[in-house]
């Protein structure tokens, strides 16, 4: 089972310190989606906004990378610059072989309205265990 549904008004989670994390946000929604990631010190790592993709091909509204630090990150997922918060299902998972973690990803999917299909935005934050 995954976590949620929970409000997108601030979800706390941790990343492995020192990893080079890369993120993407995709939408499949008519409403203007809003995603903001805040680091443990309160600095905004990224903000992504946009709509589209309702034809079935998700619309990527942001991507990038950052170096993860220790502590809890907070992600906000909603619409219209945070005027309303989406319902979010999320989880972290790793690809492991022989007891070694090679790759980890935390994924958040959200629902922005009265639907129940959690297909309005998806955020992926992932990293290889090794750099280089």
Which residues bind to Ca ion, rule: CB under 5 A? 111, 115, 117, 119-120
CB of 13: closest distance to Ca ion in angstroms? 23
* Environment class of 121 (CB within 10 Å of its CB; exposed 0-12, middle 13-18, buried 19+): buried
- In the complex, the smallest distance separating the C-beta of residue 115 from Ca ion, rounded to whole angstroms, is 3
CA–CA gap between residue 22 and residue 108 (Å, rounded): 14
Report yes or no: 125 and 68 within 8 Å, Cβ to Cβ. Answer: no
Burial classification of residue 53, based on how many CB atoms lie within 10 Å of its CB (0-12 exposed, 13-18 middle, 19 or more buried): buried
Taking the complex as a whole, how short is the minimal distance between the CB of residue 48 and Ca ion, in angstroms?
18
Return the number of the residue (33 or 106) whose C-beta is nearest Ca ion.
Answer: 33
Output 86 or 106, the one with its CB closest to Ca ion.
86
Q: Which is nearer to Ca ion, 45 or 123 (CB)?
A: 123
Torsion over CA of 56, 59, 65 and 69, rounded to 10 degrees?
Answer: -70
- Closest residue to Ca ion, Cβ-based? 115
Taking the least distance from each CB to Ca ion, the nearer of 110 and 126 is 110
Q: How far is the CB of 75 from Ca ion (least distance, A)?
A: 19
């Amino acid at each position: 089972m995954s976590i949620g549904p929970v409000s997108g008004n601030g979800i706390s989670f941790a990343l492995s310190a020192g990893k080079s994390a890369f993120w993407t946000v995709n939408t499949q929604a008519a409403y203007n989606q809003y995603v903001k990631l805040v680091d443990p010190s309160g600095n905004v790592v990224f903000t992504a906004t946009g709509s589209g993709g309702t034809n079935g091909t998700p619309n990527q509204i942001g991507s990038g990378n950052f170096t993860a630090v220790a502590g809890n990150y907070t992600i906000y997922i909603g619409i219209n610059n945070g005027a309303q918060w989406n319902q979010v299902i999320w989880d972290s998972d790793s690809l492991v072989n022989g007891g070694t973690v090679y790759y980890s990803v935390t994924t958040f999917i959200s629902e922005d309205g009265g639907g129940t299909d959690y297909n309005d935005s998806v955020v992926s934050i992932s990293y290889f265990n090794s750099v280089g």
